[in-house]
Amino acid sequence: MTHQIVFLDRSTLQAKVRRPAFEHRWQEYPVTAPNELPERLRDATIAITNKVPLRAETLQRLPKLKMIAVAATGYDVIDISYCKANGIAVANIRNYAVHTVPEHAFTLITALRRNLLAYRRDVENGRWQQVDQFCFFDHPIRDLHGATIGIIGEGVLGQGTARIARGFGMNVLFADHAPPKAPGVVFTPLAQVLAQSDVISLHLPLTDETRNMIGSEELRQMKRSAILINTARGGLVDEQALVQALQQGLIAGAGFDVLTNEPPRQGNPLLELRLPNFILTPHIAWASDGAMQFLADQLIDNIEAFVAGKPQNLVT
C-alpha cells in the first residue's frame, strides 16, 4: 500500500522534516483553511496537523483516512470521540518541550517578580535622570528564593518547571488529580495552592473539565502579590476575568504565551492591556530550535511506527 501523507500546516514547524522510510506520496501546504480540508485530504491515508482543526463534519467525508499525526502535544483540535468510533488512530508528540516551556515560564516569572517591564518603561520615560540618587524603587522587587510556586498540572512540563523552581530555592506545591505521575509528589488541594502561592503556573491540557478553570473566584483566592503564568492553553483561564483582576489589582501580574483563539483575528481582551505587569508572547514557549527539531523527528517516528504496525504515542 502506498500511503498518501498530507501535512496541513507545514509553516508552523520551522525544522527539517525527514520523509518516512516507506513507500508514500507526500503533500504539504504552508497553511490550510477549513473549507480547503475536504479537497486536500480527499485521498489522504495519513494527515499531519498542528493547529488545523479536524472535526467530525470533516472527518466523515474522509473514508480513506487511517491516521492523524498531531505535530504538537495538545490535541484539542481533533474530534477524538469520532476518531475512536471510526478507527482513526491519533498520535501526538511527547516530552519534546521539556526544557523550552519551563524556561519560557521562568522568563515570564523572573521578569514579573522583579518588575522589569515597569522599570524599563520608567527608564525610557526619563525617570532615572530625574532622581537624586543612584537608583529608585517605584515598583516592588520580589525574590524567588523562599517564595512558593503552585504548579497546576503535574506532567513532564510541570515537573520541569518544578526543577527550575527548586533551583531558585522556591517551595513547590502541586495541584493535580491523583495518582501522581512522578515519585515523591504530594498533591495539595487547589484552593490551598491558590491561597498560598506567590506564583501560579499552568501546565494542563485543555479539556471540558479544565476549560476556564481559573476564573473570577479563583483569581480572588490568590494573593494580591501573586502572579499567574500560562504557557499551556488559553482556554484554561477566563480572559475577561483576568483583565478585571489585573485592572483592579487583585493579583500582582500575569504572563501568558497563549490565547483562547489563535491567531486572535477577532481581537481578545488581553491584547488591549497596556500594563507593565502583564506580558503576552505569541505562543512561542515551545519553539526553541532544539525542541522543534525533536518534535519533527518524533512526528515521523510516530508515522513510521503506525505503518509498521507498532503504533506509539496514541491518544485513541
End-to-end CA distance of the chain: 23
Q: What is the pLDDT of residue 104?
A: 98
Rounded Cα–Cα distance for residues 211 and 205 (Å): 9
66 shares its domain with 79: yes
Residue 312 lies in a domain: no
- How do strand 46-49 and strand 3-7 relate by DSSP bridges? parallel
Cell 509553516 sits on residue: 11
What domain range includes position 89?
3-96+290-307
Question: How high is the pLDDT of residue 252?
Answer: 98
Q: What percent of the chain has pLDDT over 70?
A: 98
pTM of the complete model: 0.87
SS3 sequence, 94-112? CCCCCCHHHHHHHHHHHHH
**Shared domain check, 76 and 131:** no
Sheet holding 46-49, edge to edge: 24-28, 3-7, 46-49, 67-70, 89-91
In a domain, 156, yes or no: yes
> Which residues are marked as active site?
233, 262, 283
Say whether both 118 and 178 belong to one domain: yes
- Asked, for residue 316, whether it belongs to a domain, the answer is no
- Do the domain assignments include residue 250? yes
pLDDT at 35: 95
**Max CA-CA distance within the chain?**
78
Both 214 and 253 in a single domain? Answer: yes
Q: Are residues 17 and 111 in the same domain?
A: no
pLDDT average per 10 residues of sequence, the chain (316 residues): 96 96 98 96 98 97 97 93 97 94 98 98 97 96 98 93 97 82 82 98 92 98 98 96 98 98 94 96 96 97 98 94
Residue 315 lies in a domain: no
- In the chain, where do the E strands start and end? 3-7, 24-28, 46-49, 67-70, 89-91, 148-152, 171-175, 199-202, 227-230, 253-256, 278-280
Cell numbers 491523583 correspond to 178
pLDDT of residue 186: 82
Residues 28 and 152 in one domain: no
pLDDT tens, 170-214?
Answer: 999 999 766 667 777 888 999 999 999 999 999 998 889 999 999
Domain membership of residue 223 (yes or no) is: yes
Regarding whether 190 and 172 lie in a shared domain, the answer is: yes
> How far, in Å, CA of 51 to CA of 70, rounded?
8
**Do 28 and 63 touch, CB atoms closer than 8 A?**
no
Indicate whether 59 and 115 sit together in one domain: no
* Separation CA 79–CA 303 (nearest Å): 19
The three cell numbers of residue 147 are: 517564595
- Does one domain contain both 255 and 303? no
52 lies in the same domain as 140: no
What is the edge-to-edge ordering of all strands in the sheet holding 171-175?
171-175, 148-152, 199-202, 227-230, 253-256, 278-280
200: nearest Cα among 181, 174, 169? 174
Q: Is residue 18 part of a domain?
A: yes
Assess whether 114 and 82 both reside in one domain: no
Residue 47 and residue 138 in one domain:
no
In a domain? residue 244: yes
The per-residue DSSP string of 247-285 comes to HHTSSSEEEES--SSSS-TT--GGGG---TTEEE--S-T
Provide the domain count of the chain.
2
Domain harbouring 209, CATH code: 3.40.50.720
Q: What is the pLDDT of residue 184?
A: 74
pLDDT of 193: 97
